[in-house]
Chains A and B, each alone.
Chain A
Amino acid sequence: MRTFPRVALATLLLALVLAAWQGVASLDSVDDLTLASPAETATALSDDWSLLMDNAWVTLEEVLLGLAIAVVAGAVLAVAMHLWQPLRDAAYPLLIASQAIPIVVLAPIFVLAFDYGMGPKLAIVALICFFPITVNVLDGLRSTPAELLKLMRSLGASRLQTLRKVELPAALPSFFTGLRVAASVSVIGAVFGEWAGADEGLGRLVLLANNQLQTPRAYAGIVLLTLMAVALFALATIADRLLCPWNREEAKA
């Protein structure tokens, strides 16, 4: 019963936003070059479909690879920090500092360092996604109920057994929380990377179309980038539900 009204409400709001957007864009005082209407954006989507898709694949690849690097590196670092207190104390300030760096400024530096190709984009996506994953996994590991740890001690479990059988599964829901945040910001990272220097990708296409006053194409690119981020978020949510069914059961109980 719950799903239907939720979908209906979301669709309704989306329709309202589109209608308002169309209304504003249709005003005589609004220049077509300044604001493309939803209808014009849809036309651009179908006219430039193959161009948009070619570039979308490039961006998606950057996003997925960067995200994968962040997941592996973030999870490994979080586990290492959890197991070894000195590393936790040493690395935590650096971890926070890594988030304070404005990525916009960092992107051109990465391009200079890693050259034009995929490298700098992956580095930027990974850098953005790394933080939410590491922090959430670490939090998840550390919030394992003390009673469970005591139980494992009474069963004579080794440190590694406790980690594998109790702490890692207990941290899985937190990992997915981190992954959802990471997935939704990962696309932003790829776009920054492309803006700093690239010869393909949706971010670059939007920038180019904007400079060439092809406003509808720029909008079409933005729509696709948004859809990409939303789809990644949804995938992370689905994976969470499939792999941590107990988390929702517990919440219900």
Chain B
Amino acid sequence: MQVHPEAPVQEPRPVQRSEIALDGVERRFGRRSTVVALRGLDLRVEAGEVLAVVGPSGCGKSTLLELVAGLQQPDAGSVSVTGATAYMPQRDLLLPWRDALGNAALALECQGLGRRDARERAGALFARFGLAEFERARPSELSGGMRQRVAFLRTLLPGRPVLLLDEPFGALDSITRTSMQGWLAGALAAEPRTVLLVTHDVEEAVLLADRVAVLSPRPGRVVAELDVRLARPRRRRDALGDPAFVELVRRALDVLAVGA
């Protein structure tokens, strides 16, 4: 997008532009494709929206993300994504031979930026990610929460508009998870992106998302969508005392219990 100084900066935007659209998606695995991971899955994520997908384990949540990331192709149906996607896998997958700064800079290097420039741009954000003074630390010297923040930085740095997060806090202890959830909510409020968040934690989904889609057990499809009409960012401590929040979590759990 080009911005001319004399022209109005605000570009007219179509209302409710779908950034991610999945229509009747089917995905099969295994020998002779006998295992159906997803079937008849429809899902839409609007620009700037945070959509959380919850479902029982093995319902194809990760598959769904990889389809949107373009790492897999659907066997039927269509997947369309408007913006470029940044995919953050379940594990932090930091390279053990690179220091924290080098790991954060990896995505920029893959875009063709020189090593030094990439490190510089990543380094500028280290303090804001709570990583100051850990630039040269190897992944083995970092705590779980810090490793996850480095992975986040790596994911966010290329500035892609669509974020795909696969259980980003699944491997963390519950105290670290709570603080990282607060941190992500704040980061998204400061710099809005379109987010597709996959999680098995219903409370996390309701805490972070504008909308929660509940998947059925395999073959996965969307069985319910819940609108979370609460202002973001939400703090877990406040949310737990909010009857509306608690009611939403209960409804999501009810849908999951029926499907299972």
Contacts and interface: CB of A to CB of B under 8 A. Distances in A.
Which of A156, A169, A246 gathers the greatest number of chain B CB atoms within 10 Å? A156
B93 A155 contact: no
Contacts of B97: 169, 172, 244, 246
A166 B95 contact: yes
A250 B89 contact: no
A176 to B, nearest CB: 13
Interface in B73-89: 85-87, 89
B143 to A, nearest CB: 12
Contact of A147 (B91, B96, B138, B140): B91
B54 interface: no
B9 interface: no
A153 interface: yes
B140 A246 contact: yes
Interface in B57-107: 66, 69-71, 85-87, 89, 91, 93, 95-97, 106-107
Which of A150, A245, A247 gathers the greatest number of chain B CB atoms within 10 Å? A150
Interface in B103-151: 106-107, 109-111, 138, 140
Nearest to B164: A154
Given A153-B71, A169-B97, A253 B140 contact: yes
A148 interface: yes
B109 A147 contact: no
What 5 A-B pairs come out closest when comparing CB atoms? A246-B96, A154-B87, A157-B110, A249-B140, A155-B110
A154 B69 contact: yes
B87 A246 contact: no
B98 to A, nearest CB: 8
A155 B158 CA distance: 9
Interface of B: 66, 69-71, 85-87, 89, 91, 93, 95-97, 106-107, 109-111, 138, 140, 158
Given A156-B110, A165-B109, A165-B110, 8 more contacts: A148-B95, A151-B93, A154-B69, A157-B110, A161-B109, A165-B95, A166-B95, A249-B96
Given A152-B110, A154-B87, A250 B96 contact: yes
A150 B106 contact: no
Contacts of A245: 138
Nearest to A156: B110
Given A246-B140, A249-B140, A250-B140, A155 B91 contact: no
A150 B71 contact: yes
Contacts of A169: 95, 97
Nearest to A244: B97
Contacts of B158: 155
Nearest to A248: B140
B71 A154 contact: yes
A147 B106 CA distance: 15
Interface string A154-185: 11111001000110010010000000000000
Contacts of A154: 69-71, 85-87, 89
Nearest to B107: A155
Nearest to B115: A165
A249 B87 CA distance: 28
A244 B98 CA distance: 11
A250 B85 CA distance: 31
A246 B86 CA distance: 27
Contact of A165 (B69, B91, B106, B140): B106
A150 B96 contact: no
A253 B147 CA distance: 15
A152 B138 CA distance: 19
Contacts of A253: 140
A155 B111 CA distance: 8
Contacts of B106: 155, 165
Nearest to A172: B97
A58 to B, nearest CB: 38
Contacts of A247: 96
